[in-house]
Structure 1
Amino acid sequence: MFKLESRHSSAIDTWKKAYEDQLSKIRELQKTTDGLRGQVVTKDAEKSDVHALARTEVQRELEDLKRSVTKVEDFKRSMTAKEKVAEETDL
Protein backbone atom coordinates (compact mmCIF):
# COMPACT_ATOMS: atom_id res chain seq x y z
CA MET A 1 0.00 0.00 0.00
CA PHE A 2 2.91 2.32 0.72
CA LYS A 3 4.10 2.16 -2.90
CA LEU A 4 0.61 3.03 -4.12
CA GLU A 5 0.31 5.96 -1.71
CA SER A 6 3.81 7.12 -2.56
CA ARG A 7 3.08 6.99 -6.29
CA HIS A 8 -0.21 8.89 -5.86
CA SER A 9 1.44 11.39 -3.58
CA SER A 10 4.21 11.95 -6.11
CA ALA A 11 1.69 12.38 -8.92
CA ILE A 12 -0.36 14.80 -6.85
CA ASP A 13 2.76 16.79 -5.96
CA THR A 14 3.73 16.96 -9.62
CA TRP A 15 0.25 18.12 -10.64
CA LYS A 16 0.12 20.55 -7.73
CA LYS A 17 3.36 22.14 -8.93
CA ALA A 18 1.99 22.34 -12.48
CA TYR A 19 -1.23 23.85 -11.11
CA GLU A 20 0.69 26.49 -9.15
CA ASP A 21 2.81 27.29 -12.21
CA GLN A 22 -0.33 27.70 -14.33
CA LEU A 23 -1.92 29.97 -11.72
CA SER A 24 1.23 32.08 -11.67
CA LYS A 25 1.11 32.41 -15.46
CA ILE A 26 -2.57 33.33 -15.31
CA ARG A 27 -1.86 36.08 -12.78
CA GLU A 28 0.93 37.45 -14.98
CA LEU A 29 -1.34 37.40 -18.04
CA GLN A 30 -4.13 39.09 -16.12
CA LYS A 31 -1.72 41.86 -15.11
CA THR A 32 -0.64 42.20 -18.74
CA THR A 33 -4.25 42.27 -19.89
CA ASP A 34 -5.14 44.86 -17.25
CA GLY A 35 -2.15 46.93 -18.32
CA LEU A 36 -3.20 46.76 -21.95
CA ARG A 37 -6.73 47.77 -21.06
CA GLY A 38 -5.43 50.74 -19.11
CA GLN A 39 -3.34 52.11 -21.96
CA VAL A 40 -4.58 55.12 -23.79
CA VAL A 41 -5.60 54.30 -27.33
CA THR A 42 -3.88 56.68 -29.68
CA LYS A 43 -5.30 58.09 -32.90
CA ASP A 44 -2.81 56.06 -34.83
CA ALA A 45 -4.81 53.10 -36.14
CA GLU A 46 -1.71 50.93 -36.51
CA LYS A 47 -0.87 51.23 -32.81
CA SER A 48 -4.49 50.54 -31.96
CA ASP A 49 -4.43 47.39 -34.10
CA VAL A 50 -1.24 46.21 -32.40
CA HIS A 51 -2.82 46.67 -28.99
CA ALA A 52 -5.95 44.83 -30.10
CA LEU A 53 -3.88 41.93 -31.44
CA ALA A 54 -1.82 41.81 -28.25
CA ARG A 55 -4.96 41.79 -26.10
CA THR A 56 -6.49 39.05 -28.24
CA GLU A 57 -3.34 36.94 -27.97
CA VAL A 58 -3.12 37.46 -24.22
CA GLN A 59 -6.79 36.56 -23.83
CA ARG A 60 -6.28 33.39 -25.90
CA GLU A 61 -3.29 32.37 -23.82
CA LEU A 62 -5.17 33.15 -20.62
CA GLU A 63 -8.07 30.93 -21.71
CA ASP A 64 -5.64 28.12 -22.59
CA LEU A 65 -4.06 28.39 -19.15
CA LYS A 66 -7.45 28.40 -17.45
CA ARG A 67 -8.32 25.20 -19.32
CA SER A 68 -5.02 23.68 -18.18
CA VAL A 69 -5.76 24.61 -14.58
CA THR A 70 -9.20 23.04 -14.88
CA LYS A 71 -7.60 19.82 -16.16
CA VAL A 72 -5.16 19.83 -13.23
CA GLU A 73 -8.00 20.39 -10.77
CA ASP A 74 -9.98 17.53 -12.36
CA PHE A 75 -6.95 15.25 -12.14
CA LYS A 76 -6.43 16.22 -8.51
CA ARG A 77 -10.06 15.37 -7.72
CA SER A 78 -9.77 12.03 -9.50
CA MET A 79 -6.56 11.18 -7.61
CA THR A 80 -8.23 12.07 -4.32
CA ALA A 81 -11.19 9.85 -5.23
CA LYS A 82 -8.84 7.00 -6.17
CA GLU A 83 -7.02 7.36 -2.85
CA LYS A 84 -10.32 7.21 -0.97
CA VAL A 85 -11.31 4.07 -2.86
CA ALA A 86 -7.88 2.56 -2.15
CA GLU A 87 -8.24 3.37 1.56
CA GLU A 88 -11.74 1.88 1.66
CA THR A 89 -10.61 -1.33 -0.02
CA ASP A 90 -7.71 -1.62 2.46
CA LEU A 91 -10.10 -1.39 5.40
Structure 2
Amino acid sequence: MKLINIGFGNMISADRLIAIVSPESAPIKRTIQEARDRNMLIDATYGRRTRAVIIMDSDHVVLSAILPETISGRMDSRSTEEEKIDV
Protein backbone atom coordinates (compact mmCIF):
# COMPACT_ATOMS: atom_id res chain seq x y z
CA MET A 1 0.00 0.00 0.00
CA LYS A 2 1.41 3.38 -1.06
CA LEU A 3 0.73 6.37 1.17
CA ILE A 4 0.89 9.97 -0.03
CA ASN A 5 1.58 12.86 2.33
CA ILE A 6 -1.16 15.48 1.91
CA GLY A 7 0.33 17.89 4.43
CA PHE A 8 0.78 18.26 8.18
CA GLY A 9 1.63 14.58 8.59
CA ASN A 10 -1.63 13.37 7.05
CA MET A 11 -1.50 10.48 4.60
CA ILE A 12 -3.91 8.94 2.13
CA SER A 13 -3.75 5.64 0.31
CA ALA A 14 -2.68 6.08 -3.31
CA ASP A 15 -4.61 2.94 -4.23
CA ARG A 16 -7.92 4.48 -3.10
CA LEU A 17 -7.39 7.85 -4.84
CA ILE A 18 -9.65 8.77 -7.77
CA ALA A 19 -8.90 12.46 -8.41
CA ILE A 20 -7.04 15.50 -7.11
CA VAL A 21 -8.79 18.71 -8.15
CA SER A 22 -8.69 22.42 -7.48
CA PRO A 23 -11.48 23.74 -5.20
CA GLU A 24 -12.43 26.86 -7.21
CA SER A 25 -15.12 25.55 -9.56
CA ALA A 26 -18.80 25.50 -8.65
CA PRO A 27 -19.23 21.73 -9.20
CA ILE A 28 -16.37 20.99 -6.80
CA LYS A 29 -17.81 23.39 -4.22
CA ARG A 30 -21.11 21.50 -4.52
CA THR A 31 -19.27 18.19 -4.12
CA ILE A 32 -17.62 19.48 -0.94
CA GLN A 33 -20.96 20.63 0.49
CA GLU A 34 -22.65 17.35 -0.39
CA ALA A 35 -19.84 15.40 1.29
CA ARG A 36 -20.15 17.63 4.38
CA ASP A 37 -23.90 16.96 4.50
CA ARG A 38 -23.31 13.18 4.25
CA ASN A 39 -20.52 13.28 6.89
CA MET A 40 -18.03 12.06 4.28
CA LEU A 41 -15.78 15.15 4.34
CA ILE A 42 -12.30 14.97 5.88
CA ASP A 43 -10.74 18.39 6.46
CA ALA A 44 -6.94 18.03 6.63
CA THR A 45 -6.21 21.74 6.14
CA TYR A 46 -5.66 22.59 9.84
CA GLY A 47 -7.55 25.84 9.32
CA ARG A 48 -5.58 26.93 6.29
CA ARG A 49 -6.91 27.70 2.84
CA THR A 50 -8.07 24.66 0.85
CA ARG A 51 -5.88 24.22 -2.22
CA ALA A 52 -6.69 20.65 -3.23
CA VAL A 53 -9.76 18.46 -3.06
CA ILE A 54 -9.06 14.74 -3.11
CA ILE A 55 -11.82 12.37 -4.19
CA MET A 56 -11.52 8.84 -2.83
CA ASP A 57 -13.15 5.65 -4.09
CA SER A 58 -14.97 5.27 -0.75
CA ASP A 59 -16.96 8.48 -1.50
CA HIS A 60 -14.86 10.41 1.02
CA VAL A 61 -13.76 13.90 0.04
CA VAL A 62 -10.50 15.08 1.58
CA LEU A 63 -9.49 18.75 1.77
CA SER A 64 -5.79 19.61 1.74
CA ALA A 65 -3.81 22.83 2.07
CA ILE A 66 -1.22 21.50 -0.40
CA LEU A 67 -1.46 22.31 -4.12
CA PRO A 68 -2.73 19.52 -6.42
CA GLU A 69 0.53 19.65 -8.41
CA THR A 70 2.54 19.05 -5.24
CA ILE A 71 0.42 16.08 -4.22
CA SER A 72 0.68 14.65 -7.73
CA GLY A 73 4.45 15.12 -7.66
CA ARG A 74 4.66 13.28 -4.36
CA MET A 75 2.69 10.42 -5.87
CA ASP A 76 4.98 10.32 -8.92
CA SER A 77 8.12 10.38 -6.79
CA ARG A 78 6.81 7.41 -4.81
CA SER A 79 6.27 5.38 -7.98
CA THR A 80 9.77 6.14 -9.32
CA GLU A 81 11.30 5.15 -5.97
CA GLU A 82 9.44 1.83 -6.13
CA GLU A 83 10.59 1.24 -9.72
CA LYS A 84 14.20 1.70 -8.60
CA ILE A 85 13.69 -0.83 -5.81
CA ASP A 86 12.10 -3.40 -8.17
CA VAL A 87 15.04 -3.27 -10.61
What is the TM-score with the length of structure 2 in the denominator? 0.37
What is the TM-score with the length of structure 1 in the denominator? 0.35
Q: Which has the higher helix share?
A: 1
Higher relative contact order (CA 8 A, sep 6+): 1
Q: Which has the higher strand share?
A: 2
Larger radius of gyration: 1
